Structure formats: C-alpha cells, structure tokens
Amino acid sequence: MGRRDIPEINAGSMADIAFLLLIFFLVTTTMDTDTGLIRKLPPVVDEITDPPPIKQRNIFEILVNANDQLLVEGEYMQVTDLREAAKVFIASEPGNPSMPEFKDTEIEGLGVVQVSKQIISLQNDNGTSYEMYIKVQNELVAAYNELRNEFAQQKFNKPYTELVQKSGSSDAIKMKMKAVKKFYPQRISEAEPKKTGGAE
C-alpha cells in the first residue's frame, strides 16, 4: 500500500571490492614450494657391539675440515671435481684391486648382475660450514643420479628421472626404477663430526 519499491542495489562496485580482496591475497600469501635435498637418517642402534669389518678398498673416504677443504681418499680436492671422482669410484669395473669389490646379486628385471660394494664415507668437522656440507652432499647425490640416468638410458632407453616420475603409473616402470636403484645403491655413511681443529 504505502510501500515504496526498494531500489535495486548498485552492483557496479562489486568488481572493485573483489579486486581489492584478490590483491590482498596475492600479496600476503607465499607461493614458494619448499625444495631441498631429501636424506634419511639411520635409526638409532642400541649398542654397537662389533661393527662389521669393511675393507678399505670398498670405502670412498671424504673428509671436510673446518676451513672447508676437502680430502678425498687422502688427496686434496676441489668440490667441483668431487662428482667425477665419486662417479669413477661408484662405477668401477670388477677385478680392479684398488677399486671396490663386487658381489653377484639377483635383481628383478636384470637377472644376476655384479653390484659394487661401494660405500661413501663422509666425515666433517664441527667447524665446517653448512654451505660446504650441502655442496658435498649435492655432488654425491648428483654422482649417483648421473650414473643411474646413464644406466637406465642404456638398459631401458629412458633416464632414471623419468622412471621415477612415472613410477606411480605402472608396476613395470616401478620395477625398472627399483632395478636401477639396486644396481647403484646409494650408500653414504656419515660419521659423527669430530672437532679436529683448524681455525674457527
């Protein structure tokens, strides 16, 4: 009766308000996905009764001192040369007395193959910088990854990284990935750091 028509609300500024909110969220949120080197720590063992003896020829020894200098197998080395040296050690041919021993292992998809008994032993000082530690870790992981890629390319015509990416899609690819992994097992042993000295 006496009612007047309610005028329609003007929605023209709706877009402005929405834009304002949008810009607020764009600015305040971080899109960065965390990236890094994924490693696994060994579980705690109750008591080391008798560590199994490992022959010296199977160990690739890396020492890092407080001045971020590398000693690899008793020789001074630059970190940029570490990758090549590690690759040579990991992918050595059987029968070389100065290189690691081999063991016949049955791997699904490859049959019985000779797998190197290589172990990389890494020891750093308390004064080693974290940056250097990461560089060494990175070079070692890179050495393994490159060898796995080469091996997978040669055997299965696909690089290892591709096998890893597609391993969820089929069991055959997963088996191939595992075979490559078993052929070049990543064995990096980290000793507890020592305070061997050197300038702080």
Q: Residues in the site for other proteins, rule: CB under 8 A?
A: 11, 14-15, 18-19, 21-22, 25-26, 28-31, 33-44, 78-80, 124-131, 133-135, 137-139, 141-142, 145, 192-193
Our CB check for other proteins shows the closer of 96 and 161 to be 161
Q: Are 118 and 20 in contact (CB under 8 A)?
A: no
- Cα of first residue to Cα of last residue in the chain, in angstroms, is 91
Cβ proximity to other proteins, 4 vs 40, nearer residue? 40
CB of 93 to other proteins, least distance (A): 26
DSSP symbol at 29: -
The DSSP bridge partners found for residue 72 are: 62, 75
In the complex, least distance from residue 156 CB atom to other proteins, rounded to whole angstroms: 21
Q: Which is nearer to other proteins, 1 or 37 (CB)?
A: 37
Contacts within 8 Å (CB) and 24+ apart, 52-58: 54/119, 55/101, 57/97, 57/98, 57/99, 57/100, 57/101, 58/100, 58/101, 58/117, 58/118, 58/119
Q: Closest approach of Cβ 103 to other proteins, in Å? A: 27
Least CB distance to other proteins at residue 187 (A): 16
With respect to other proteins, which residue has the nearer C-beta, 118 or 124?
124
In which residue are the tokens 């005028």 written? Answer: 7
